[in-house]
Amino acid sequence: MPSTRIQAGVRAGLVAAAATAGAIIGFSLRHDVWVTPFVSLGIQVLQGLGLTRPPRVVSSLAGIAAHVAWMVVWGIGFGLLAYRRTPAAAALLALGIGVVASLSAQIIQPALGAVKFAALPAAQAVLCVVLLSVGLMAGRALSATD
């Protein structure tokens, strides 16, 4: 049933959001700017909505919300594609979605590509893609819809 797959995808996306946000915050803590990636993303999203110069707290909340929303979108896509697949096939799909998510961050200008706005070095961006993929798989395992 599609709604079951969507629910599983939402769960997988939330796990992926937690994993990637934790990594982004961890990378940023090294520079005492833990919220800056989310502020940058929030500013871009809010500017896309026509709001200029929002307060920092509003920008950070918008950035966090955008990050979570985008991860849930990727999770729903994964939930729909990985349904009744073997764990190996699902893992390849999760990795593929992580790569597509990373590439889309370079294409979608003011939308929801957190990796682009986090300005992560390549190695850290790769780690976020891996964490997104692992998060999707962990969310799939937690949902157990197959």
Q: Among residues of the chain, what percentage have pLDDT more than 90?
A: 8
- The pTM (predicted TM-score) of the whole model is 0.82
Question: Would you say residue 22 has pLDDT above 60?
Answer: yes
Spatial CA neighbour of 143 closest among 82, 98, 100, 69:
82
Q: 39-48: string of b/e by CB count within 10 Å (b at 16+)?
A: bbbbbbbbee
Tens of pLDDT, residues 59-113: 889 988 988 998 899 999 898 888 888 888 988 989 888 888 877 766 655 444 4
Cα 84 to Cα 1, 102, 128, distances in angstroms: 11, 25, 26
List helix spans (H) across the chain: 2-29, 36-48, 56-81, 87-107, 114-118, 122-143
Residue predicted with more confidence, 38 or 89 = 89
CA distances from 22 to 6, 54, 85, 96 (A): 24, 24, 28, 21
Domain ranges of the chain: 2-141
CB atoms within 10 A of CB 84: 9
Between the alpha carbon of residue 38 and those of residues 64, 96, 130, the distances in Å are: 6, 24, 20
